[in-house]
């Protein structure tokens, strides 16, 4: 059983809950438990969408600096790939994912949230990548996912200064997608995730793969990725169900099976 990270499934929605008081510091154990929860959510057929949540007070305030301070160059070189993949494991879930951000989402905490497809934050949230203040840079995917999300200039401003970004500014620059009252964060994330509990799961996975993989390629390659994924869906039961339902009953009434 995991000590600090759990996956709770209810009504088709899986909630990956971080719970390492007081600030959900992401030591190596927490990192690996996030990876394990993400893998479980990926393969569990009962999970149609995923919420990542740190609780009512804080999402995650970064890596465990005391643990990291004990590592030298050789030791960090040996584990950095695993650290990066663990913090980025939310991005590997082939289902819609949403980060529900309360309080602080800093450093590795923000890097976890950046792996989600959608981000909801309380209006008092503070987000940032303050690693520069420790004499290092983001190493859990922050320099790459942040720049792709908000653009290189805004990403450089955040990374170079290490400053905290409030929820209103985060919404303006596209770092978050929705801002709500702090006590409504989880409910808002669940409302977003609930849109997909009856959707065609294989089509959602294909759509996510096409967008994510296409962003890392040139347009011609991206279009070929789209071609392959589009054609592959004609081997699914949901494609047959969806098209037959459309012909007989019009759009939006199909009862998909996820197969």
Question: 231: which 2 tokens?
Answer: 């054609």
Strand-pair partners of 16:
7, 52
Strand-pair partners of 127:
105, 165
Asked if the domains 5-194 and 201-249 are classified in one and the same CATH topology, the answer is: no
Asked: is 5-194 a CATH 3.40.47.10 domain? The reply is no
Matching residue, tokens 């879930």: 93
Catalytic residue IDs: 111, 131
CATH architecture of 201-249: Orthogonal Bundle (1.10)
H or E element at residue 148: helix 142-150
**Is residue 86 within 8 Å of residue 32, measured between CB atoms?**
yes
Matching residue, tokens 């690996």: 32
Instruction: State the Cα–Cα distance between residues 89 and 140, nearest whole angstrom.
Output: 10
Neighbour order of strands in the sheet with 97-101: 5-10, 13-18, 49-53, 97-101, 118-122, 178-180
Question: 148: which 2 tokens?
Answer: 């792709």
The domain ranges of the chain are: 5-194, 201-249
Instruction: State the Cα–Cα distance between residues 101 and 180, nearest whole angstrom.
Output: 10
Instruction: State the Cα–Cα distance between residues 53 and 40, nearest whole angstrom.
Output: 16
Matching residue, tokens 């006590």: 183
Q: Indicate the DSSP class of residue 60.
A: B
Instruction: State the Cα–Cα distance between residues 21 and 102, nearest whole angstrom.
Output: 14
Instruction: State the Cα–Cα distance between residues 26 and 59, nearest whole angstrom.
Output: 11
pLDDT computed for residue 132 by the predictor: 97
Instruction: State the Cα–Cα distance between residues 134 and 75, nearest whole angstrom.
Output: 18
pLDDT (tens place) for every residue of the chain, 259 residues total: 789 999 999 999 999 999 999 999 999 999 999 999 999 999 999 999 999 999 999 999 988 999 999 999 999 999 999 999 999 999 999 999 999 999 999 999 999 999 999 999 999 999 999 999 999 999 999 999 999 999 999 999 999 999 999 999 999 999 999 999 999 999 999 999 999 999 999 999 999 999 999 999 999 999 999 999 999 999 999 999 999 999 999 999 999 999 9
Matching residue, tokens 């401003």: 157
């Amino acid at each position: 059983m995991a000590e600090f990270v759990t996956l709770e499934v209810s009504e088709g929605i899986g909630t990956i809950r971080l719970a390492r008081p007081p600030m959900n510091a992401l030591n190596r154990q927490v990192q690996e438990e996030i990876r394990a929860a993400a893998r479980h959510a990926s393969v569990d057929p009962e999970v149609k969408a995923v919420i990542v949540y740190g609780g009512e007070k804080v999402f995650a305030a970064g890596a465990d600096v005391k643990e990291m301070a004990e590592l030298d160059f050789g030791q960090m070189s040996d584990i950095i790939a695993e650290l990066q993949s663990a913090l980025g494991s939310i991005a590997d879930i082939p289902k819609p994912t949403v980060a529900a951000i309360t309080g602080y989402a800093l450093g590795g905490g923000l890097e976890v949230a950046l792996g989600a497809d959608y981000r909801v934050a309380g209006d008092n949230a503070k987000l940032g990548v303050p690693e520069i203040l420790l004499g290092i840079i983001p190493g859990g995917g922050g320099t790459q996912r942040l720049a792709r999300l908000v653009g290189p200039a805004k990403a450089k401003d955040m990374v170079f200064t290490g400053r905290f970004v409030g929820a209103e500014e985060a919404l303006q620059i596209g770092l978050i997608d929705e801002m709500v009252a702090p006590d409504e964060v989880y409910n808002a994330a669940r409302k977003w995730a609930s849109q997909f509990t009856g959707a065609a799961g294989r089509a959602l996975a294909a759509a996510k793969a096409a967008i994510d993989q296409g962003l890392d390629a040139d347009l011609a390659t991206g279009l070929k990725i789209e071609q392959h994924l589009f054609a592959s869906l004609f081997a699914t039961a949901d494609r047959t169900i969806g098209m037959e339902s459309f012909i007989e009953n019009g759009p939006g009434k199909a009862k998909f099976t996820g197969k």
